[in-house]
A = this chain, B = another copy of it.
Amino acid sequence: TIGVAAPAWAASADPLPSWNSGAAKDSIIEFVDNVTDPESGQYLPPAKRIATFDNDGTLWSEKPLYFQFYFALDRLKAMAPEHPEWQTTEPFASYLAGDVDKMVAHGEEGVLKVVAATHAGQTTEEFRQAAEQWLKTARHGSTGKLFTEMAFQPMLELLDYLRESDFKTFIVSGGGVDFIRSFAEEVYGIPPYQVVGSSIKATYEVRDGKPVMVKQPEIAFVDDKEGKPVGIHQYIGARPVLAFGNSDGDYQMLDWVTSGEGPSLGLLLHHTDPLREWSYDRKSLVGTLDRGLDDAGEKGWVLVDMKQDWNSVYPVKPADPA
C-alpha cells in the first residue's frame, strides 16, 4: 500500500481477477464494455447477449479422458458380467480392456454409446441421481480432486462477469446433456434449460399409473462440430454473440457465432500449461486443436494461452479452520 501499488478500488473492481493483463483479457473486457454501452455504436440489447461455452476442456479439464468416460466406464464395469458380448463389441471391448488410445479414438460418440447401453431402461430421474452420486465421490486419478473441483476458476469468473452484464450463458457441449445438467447449476450457475448437449433417446411411459421418462439405447443427437450450430439453432433459436471453445469440435460454433451481423467474439482456450494443468493441441486425441490454431488469426478469434493468461487454474478451497 505504498507508492505505485494499484488502489484497493481498482483491484476489487476487476471482474476477472484470475486473468492476467494482456490481449485476451483486454479483448473480453472491451467486448463487454462495447456491447453494454449504448453510446459505443456496438451496443446490443440484453436479449441479444447470448454466450455459448463448450464444456470439456473449456469450463473444466478433459485429461487424460473426458470426465464422463469415467462415469460411463464405472457403470460398464459393474454391468459387464451380465453382458459377455461387450468383450468383443466396440466401443465396449476397448473400454473394458482399459485401452485409452482406442477409447479416445471412439470420441464423445463412444461415450454416448456406452451411456446408451449402460443407462437404457433407467428413468431420467434415476440417471440423474446416479450421476449426482458419482460426482460426489469419484475422484480424478492424478489430481485427487472431485471432478467438479476441476472447473476452471478464470472461467467461473467469466461466466459471472457476463451474467452481471446481462448475458445469458449457455453450455454447448459434445458431452451428454443429462450428465452435464446434473452439476451445471451448482458448479457453473447454468440452469438445465441453458445446457445444449449430445443425447440418447428418451421415451414417455406410464409405469404403475405414474408417468416416467425412460432412457433408450439409441443416440438421438451428437452435439459436436457441425452439430454445435445445429444444436444452437434447435435449442437456443438465436445466434449467440460470444462463443468460447478449446478444440476443432468448436470450429463450426465459433464460425457461426462470429459470422453474424454486428459485434461478436470467438475465443479458444489453448492448453499450454503442463505444470498446473496439461499441455496439448494438434496431436492430442482428446481436445484436438489444429485447424482452429491455423485459422484463429484470419478469423479474428482470440487464443487464450492458459499459462500466460491465467494466474490460477482451479478454485482454491478455503482451508479447514484449524
User: Interface residues, chain A, CB within 8 Å of chain B?
Assistant: 47, 50, 124, 168, 170, 177-178, 181, 185, 191-195, 199, 202-204, 206, 210-211, 213, 220, 226, 229-230, 233-238, 252, 255-256, 259
Contact, CB under 8 Å: B204 / A256? yes
CB distance from A178 to the nearest CB of B (A): 7
Q: Please give me the residue from chain B that is nearest to A195 by CB atom.
A: B237
12 sampled A-B residue pairs with Cβ under 8 A: A47-B191, A168-B191, A170-B193, A177-B234, A177-B237, A192-B236, A193-B193, A193-B235, A199-B234, A203-B230, A210-B259, A211-B229
Chain B proximity of A88: nearest CB distance (Å)? 33
Interchain nearest-CB distance for A315 vs B (Å): 21
Q: Report the minimal beta-carbon distance from A250 to chain B, rounded to whole angstroms.
A: 13
Residue among B178, B193, B204, B233 making CB contact with A213, cutoff 8 Å = B233
Q: Which of B124, B230, B236 contacts A193 (CB 8 A)?
A: B236
Residues of B within 8 Å of A193, CB to CB, are 50, 168, 170, 193-194, 235-238
Bound: A203/B170 CA distance, A: 21
CA distance A90 to B159 in the complex (A): 50
Chain B residues within an 8 Å CB radius of A235? 193, 235
Q: Given the interface contacts A194-B193, A211-B252, A259-B210, does A185 sit within 8 Å of B47 by beta carbon?
A: yes
Q: How far is the CB of A220 from chain B (nearest CB, A)?
A: 8
CB <8 Å contact, A213 and B229: yes
